[in-house]
Structure 1
Amino acid sequence: MFPSFFVVTLGLCYCLKESSQVTLVRPVLIGPSEALVKSVVDFECALDTDPWNDTVLFQLYKEDNHDKLLGEYSSMDWEAAVIPILVKTYHEGNLECVAKAQNNSDIEPIVSYTHYLKVIEPVKGAKIDVLSGPVKFFEGKTLKLRCNITAGTHVSYKWLLNGRPISQSPLHRFADDSLWIYRTTSKDSGSYKCVATNNFNNTQFFTTNSSEVLITVKDVVSVPDISFTVSKEDSQYSAIVACQSTKGSLPITFSLYSKTELVANMTVEETNAAFEVPVVLGRHLGWLQCWANNGDQTQYSEWIPLEVVPVVGPVKMHYDYDTGENYAVTSLRLYCKAAKGSFPRYQWFINTTLLHDRGSFYHVVNQPPEQSVLLLSVGRSSTGTYHCEVSDSFDNTTAISSKRRYLDKDVLNRLPTLVVAAVFGCFIALILLVSVCCLVGVMFRRRVYGHKSLSLEMDKMVAAYEGELDLSDYSEDADVVVAAREGEFDQASEASADEWPQIEEEKKTL
């Protein structure tokens, strides 16, 4: 019986303990949503009910971190608790208030709903760090800059290049406090500066500017072009070889090679260089190539032959033209070309007068060594005798002339003799063809209708002959009649044979 009494007693004690526990209503936490660092702000925590008189302890924590107490307040009469805190950056986040009975551990603590606090620390101490490496590099590489600040929360960044804002693009990307520039070119060179800003309640604004960082993006030297001209001095000829790049950061080192042999090189503060090489006219002296380098990589030109061919005749001149209204010739293009020559010089003449590059009615377009073109507007002022002369550009002591051609507006618009003869001949041939066709047609019709007349005449003669033989009076039997008729036919045939000469004579008459 004693064990049963012990169990009943233990159960009663447990029930009394359970009935003595009181559950508090969830407290309400009220406070600012944004605060400046190092400022003092108050958070209010209150309960909606007052079930009994007891001291309630209100404590302020960050969510999921009850090891660090932010503040507390004891309320004697269940009044609202005001908990002041000195704002620090680690206070940012979700805050919650815990209410519990200070003198009764049987009352379970209860936690309020969370309240988010945004902590603003004024920005300051901006500085640019170059994360990609040296501040001088060649194009094509990636530039990465970071704007470091010594203090500041909720900061926005703006980047400036030479005082102008940088806009985001596929090659210019912003990531928090960093700027990435892909496939850089010389246009990305300049002074970079970052501007860091933040604000409190959109009423107080804080800004800090970094010092400028100079970034130099150097252009890789482009593939050089190679060409040469010829000069003459005291009967000696030299080739002036030019190496030309369109772009490239200076200085540039140019080198001239003949196959694998270095002819000469030089470093210049410009994008071109010139080398002098002796030549012999009419002789192939090998192949030349230019090399260019400005510190990143070497670029190579094409190979060209070192050969100078003097101008050789004949010099040919021809033209074509444009027409206007009524097919009248309005403009001419005269072409002049020599048979051979590496460096020809073309000169145009009208009536032995040298024409310059441009005049009132002409324009000279030189396209050496292929040819030279003289553009003419046809009119009274352009009338004259034209020819061109070709000589070596490096030695004009001898010149080869083309044939002379007289040109004026009337001559150009006159029909050529061959054209007139061809048109007239075609007309005569057409008339003869029509006449022959008509004659053949007449002869064919006479022949056809002549045979038809002869056949009709013979039919009439046969009918008349048969009319004279009336067989209706004979009463012989059929065999006798047939025999008689056969005899008559024989006589008729003999008679017809006698008449053939007459028939032939009538046929000739027809």
Structure 2
Amino acid sequence: MTKRAFILLLILGFCAMWQRADAQITLGKPKLEAPFFGIEEEIVNVSCKLDEIPTDEIILYKLFKEDNLNKLYGEYSAHRKEKGRFLIYVQPAHDGWFICQASVQNNSEITPTFSDKKRFHVLLPIAGVEIISNQSLEDLWEGESLTLQCDISKGTFVFYTWIRDNLTIQNETSDKQLHIPILTKENSGEYFCLAENIFNDTVYFSNMSAGRNVHVKENLSSPEISFNVLKDAKGNFNARVNCEVKKGSLPINFTLFRNNQNVDAVISQHQNVTFVVPIVLDQDMGTVYCQASNGEQPVQSKKLNLTVESLEGTVTIRLEKVESQDLCWAVLGVYMYCEVKNESFLQFQWFFNNKRLEKFGTFHRIYYEDNSGISVRLNPHGASDGFYHCEVFTPFNNTKKLRSSKEFRISYEAFNKIPTNVAVIVFTLFSLLICAVFACCIYGVVLRKMKARKYIFRVKDFPDMHSVIDDDDDYNDDTEEIEEDKFEEVEHEDLDTEAYIEDIEVVQASMMEDFEESEEEKETDVDNYNF
């Protein structure tokens, strides 16, 4: 064996030993580092690193998407234990889960290892914002529903804000639709959709749609019908029939029916219209009603009798008092109403001391459209005191007075004085109360005197009684005479004189005390009485 062959064998032996040693090497799990998101067409940095590299071998890092390990997004050969670095030009396809592979370069015997997957979000700027709807926005009615959708041609992580006439009505929702279940007139206006990229509570891009006008038509209310009568220059009478709706979108088509026959129609840009119908007084002119329509189902007013009769009723004034709420219950003012029974279409005028009153004054106010009511504030100094009356006119000839009421006297003093019957009742009750008190006093005085006399009699009798008891014979004789004189046929039992004598001193002392008190109060001279 030559020297050259020996050296070659030695080298091959070392190589074999090295390969066996390498076969025992295992790589740890690499750690993938990448941002949480990236904006389209931006460049982001992604890195992959092994924590421990047992040899000085070159480590090859490769970047894949989890769903496709056959598509390589980047590779990096790391020397001297450095990390693998990748530059990614962000595109929509990069959105998903990334994974990193680490292996020893040019050594397939060492098993490659993979990192944990990491989510990468691609933030696409918003473009092509547009409001779309499956129904016409110019032909909507109250009570219907409406759904608007904010459509975009491009964008991710989008939140939507809905705006009507510069007022936000729905803020930052992920739902691109705006649903209104029941439309009202207030839902009319110009709608905008603001689309924003919001990621981690941060707004990156915003884009607003063009405005879309939404017009909600208002349904008509039932029309109200009324009329008044006017006299033209030729002396003919006409009924001016007014038909009016309180709400409803314009224009409105009004139609007048007389005795269920169509007599006139008008398309109006207002919510009311007036029809002129010739009439004759004191004749049956039938009934009229009006109909209104603005594109939906027509609505109809109530029927109204068009007959107008001449004034025949009596003019009266109805009065109501206005009292204060304190304990005095003073009358502060009055309301007066001029009325004519079973008549209508009249005008009224008010007079104070035969002078016509204006609509407003220092102490009065005339109200109602026909001037039939007046309020008068009572003046304690007499400024409002006087005679009031009203006069009635026809609206078609207000220069001729048809009826006048009687004059009504209004006075602050008259309304606030105490009524005679109330004064009589109060005086009578007060007099009865005085009499009752006086009678009680008299009765008390007489009763005290009677009791005092009774005690005096008893006190005078007790000394005599005591002397009688001491003398038995005389007592028995007097007792027999009294019994014979006063009780002729009644028999009494004999008195127990011994028990009586024992208690007589106690009773006599009590009687003497009552007697002395009576003498001090009434100053009665007991010596004037005879026993």
Answer yes or no: is 1:255 the counterpart of 2:258. Answer: no
* Partners of 1:350 and 1:386 within 8 A in 2: yes
For the residue of structure 2 that corresponds to 1:35, the secondary structure is strand
Distance in 2 of aligned mates of 1:418 and 1:54: 130
Amino acid at match of 1:251: P
Amino acid at match of 1:404: E
Deviations 1:154-198 (A, max 9, x none): 344444434x241438xxx94444434443333333333334444
Q: Which residue of 2 aligns with 1:373?
A: 374
Question: Compared with structure 1, are the counterparts of its residues 225 and 202 closer, same or farther at alpha carbon in structure 2 (3 Å cutoff)?
Answer: closer
Distance in 2 of aligned mates of 1:495 and 1:410: 77
Answer yes or no: is 1:382 the counterpart of 2:384. Answer: yes
Deviations 1:386-424 (A, max 9, x none): 222233333443432222233344444444555555555
Distance in 1 of aligned mates of 2:326 and 2:23: 120
Answer yes or no: is 1:153 the counterpart of 2:148. Answer: no
* C-alpha deviation, 1:345, in angstroms: 1.9
* C-alpha deviation, 1:43, in angstroms: 2.3
Question: Compared with structure 1, are the counterparts of its residues 41 and 494 closer, same or farther at alpha carbon in structure 2 (3 Å cutoff)?
Answer: closer
* Partners of 2:318 and 2:339 within 8 A in 1: no
Q: Which residue of 2 aligns with 1:188?
A: 187
**RMSD (CA atoms):** 5.1
* Partners of 1:317 and 1:403 within 8 A in 2: no
For the residue of structure 2 that corresponds to 1:69, the secondary structure is strand
Question: Compared with structure 1, are the counterparts of its residues 247 and 425 closer, same or farther at alpha carbon in structure 2 (3 Å cutoff)?
Answer: same
User: What is the correspondence of 1:351-370 to structure 2 with a 5 Å cutoff?
Assistant: 351-366=353-368
Q: Return 5+ residue gaps in structure 1 as ranges.
A: 1-16, 445-462, 472-487, 498-510
User: What is the correspondence of 1:459-478 to structure 2 with a 5 Å cutoff?
Assistant: none
* C-alpha deviation, 1:88, in angstroms: 0.7
For the residue of structure 2 that corresponds to 1:358, the secondary structure is coil
| Greater displacement, 182-191 / 416-425 | 416-425
Answer yes or no: is 1:394 the counterpart of 2:396. Answer: yes
Distance in 2 of aligned mates of 1:367 and 1:437: 66
Deviations 1:44-66 (A, max 9, x none): 22323334576654321223432
TM-score by length of structure 1 reads 0.71
Answer yes or no: is 1:89 the counterpart of 2:79. Answer: no
Question: Compared with structure 1, are the counterparts of its residues 74 and 216 closer, same or farther at alpha carbon in structure 2 (3 Å cutoff)?
Answer: same
Distance in 2 of aligned mates of 1:432 and 1:67: 127
Q: In structure 2, which of residues 65, 69, 72 is the aligned counterpart of residue 69 of structure 1?
A: 72
Distance in 2 of aligned mates of 1:367 and 1:221: 26
User: What is the correspondence of 1:121-200 to structure 2 with a 5 Å cutoff?
Assistant: 121-162=124-165, 164-168=166-170, 174-198=173-197
Amino acid at match of 1:211: A
Distance in 1 of aligned mates of 2:487 and 2:330: 86
* C-alpha deviation, 1:354, in angstroms: 0.7
Distance in 1 of aligned mates of 2:199 and 2:333: 80
Amino acid at match of 1:353: K
For the residue of structure 1 that corresponds to 2:69, the secondary structure is coil
For the residue of structure 2 that corresponds to 1:389, the secondary structure is strand
Amino acid at match of 1:246: K
* Partners of 2:191 and 2:211 within 8 A in 1: yes
* C-alpha deviation, 1:77, in angstroms: 6.9
Distance in 2 of aligned mates of 1:352 and 1:137: 61
Answer yes or no: is 1:243 the counterpart of 2:246. Answer: no
Distance in 1 of aligned mates of 2:28 and 2:135: 58
Question: Compared with structure 1, are the counterparts of its residues 42 and 269 closer, same or farther at alpha carbon in structure 2 (3 Å cutoff)?
Answer: same
Q: In structure 2, which of residues 30, 41, 66 is the aligned counterpart of residue 38 of structure 1?
A: 41
Question: Compared with structure 1, are the counterparts of its residues 45 and 353 closer, same or farther at alpha carbon in structure 2 (3 Å cutoff)?
Answer: same
Distance in 1 of aligned mates of 2:486 and 2:31: 158
* C-alpha deviation, 1:42, in angstroms: 3.7
Distance in 1 of aligned mates of 2:432 and 2:131: 96
Answer yes or no: is 1:112 the counterpart of 2:111. Answer: no
Question: Compared with structure 1, are the counterparts of its residues 441 and 232 closer, same or farther at alpha carbon in structure 2 (3 Å cutoff)?
Answer: farther
* C-alpha deviation, 1:237, in angstroms: 3.5
Distance in 2 of aligned mates of 1:328 and 1:190: 56
| Greater displacement, 302-311 / 394-403 | 302-311
Question: Compared with structure 1, are the counterparts of its residues 329 and 197 closer, same or farther at alpha carbon in structure 2 (3 Å cutoff)?
Answer: closer
Q: Which residue of 1 aligns with 2:51?
A: 48
For the residue of structure 1 that corresponds to 2:93, the secondary structure is helix
Q: Which residue of 1 aligns with 2:344?
A: 342
Q: Which residue of 1 aligns with 2:225?
A: 226
* C-alpha deviation, 1:382, in angstroms: 2.0
* C-alpha deviation, 1:27, in angstroms: 0.8
TM-score by length of structure 2 reads 0.68
Q: Which residue of 2 aligns with 1:406?
A: 409
Distance in 1 of aligned mates of 2:84 and 2:153: 37
Distance in 1 of aligned mates of 2:433 and 2:52: 128
Distance in 2 of aligned mates of 1:37 and 1:209: 20
Question: Compared with structure 1, are the counterparts of its residues 308 and 51 closer, same or farther at alpha carbon in structure 2 (3 Å cutoff)?
Answer: same
Deviations 1:432-457 (A, max 9, x none): 8999999999999xxxxxxxxxxxxx
Amino acid at match of 1:220: N
For the residue of structure 1 that corresponds to 2:156, the secondary structure is coil
Distance in 2 of aligned mates of 1:416 and 1:203: 84
* C-alpha deviation, 1:132, in angstroms: 4.6
Q: Which residue of 2 aligns with 1:485?
A: none
Question: Compared with structure 1, are the counterparts of its residues 202 and 380 closer, same or farther at alpha carbon in structure 2 (3 Å cutoff)?
Answer: closer
